[in-house]
Amino acid sequence: MENIDEIDLSALSDDELVEQMHDDLYDGLKEEIEEGTHILLDRGWEPYAVLQDALVEGMRIVGIDFRDGILFVPEVLMSANAMKGGMAILRPLLAETGAPTVGKMVIGTVKGDIHDIGKNLVAMMLEGAGFEVINLGINNPVENYLNALEEHKPELLGMSALLTTTMPYMKVVIDTLVEQSIRDDYIVVVGGAPLNEEFGNAIGADAYCRDAAVAVETCKELVAEMRAAN
């Protein structure tokens, strides 16, 4: 097997290059993904086609192996970081062409909680699936969520907590949405190690997602349903 460094990406056919980009994403090789993205664009590929065929499909493979326990969090974070390299090139071009997004999500860890690895993984995997994600970071009071919803007008609101003591704050946010009569405008998904489906139902969330792979599938389905209903 030849050394990975010796592969000349520009010498590959389109199909070979897309396959190679799937491998490079899997291996978390950011510079190679950026180079491959530029090559496909230079060959006249539409930005949306590069996104779907090379990046989203590559991350779908990563997501399956993460779900099945073949890949672990550090490796998936490297893959997601490589994906971000490609996305940074494509995002302005996608905006120009008005390409459809799969959906838009505001996500953040709730007030009192400073854990964000799981949430960041969900955000990256959603971006990898073609979502636009506004990541609010950690320790978010209800105002942060409300302001972001107002500004970005997403379909989805995601909340994360890792502490049993901060879990109830999710209900505070949902109750506030109800009080302001905007609860039905958004799909609310929650996650984090101490949560379960019962808790999600009890606080009035639309879905509880136990991990990033489930989150991607769930968000896709819920957005598709919402758009079909409208």
- Mean pLDDT calculated for residue range 56-64: 90
Quote the CATH superfamily of domain 4-97: Methionine synthase domain (1.10.1240.10)
Token duo for residue 64:
């399956």
Side chain identity at residue 227, one-letter code: R
Percent of the residues in the chain that have a pLDDT greater than 90, as a whole number: 77
| Alpha-carbon span 203 to 206, nearest angstrom | 9
pLDDT tens column, 202-225:
999 999 999 888 899 999 999 999
Q: Answer for the pair 85, 172: CB distance below 8 angstroms, yes or no.
A: no
pLDDT of residue 85: 94
* Average pLDDT, rounded, for the chain: 93
Does residue 2 carry a pLDDT above 50? Answer: no
Whether the CB-CB separation of 104 and 153 falls below 8 Å is answered with yes
User: For residues 131 and 220, what is the distance between their CA atoms, to the nearest angstrom?
Assistant: 9
Judged by average pLDDT, the poorest of 14-28, 91-105, 151-165, 216-230 is 91-105
Q: What is the pLDDT of residue 97?
A: 80
| pLDDT in the model for residue 73 | 86
- CATH number, domain 104-229, options 3.40.50.300, 3.40.630.30, 3.40.50.280, 3.40.50.10740: 3.40.50.280
**Predicted structure pTM score:** 0.80
**Paired tokens of 22:** 């799937």
* 44's tokens: 């006249």
Domain edges within the chain? 4-97, 104-229
Give the Cα separation of 62 and 66 in Å (integer).
6
Q: Which of 104, 10, 86, 84 is nearest to 48 (CA)?
A: 86
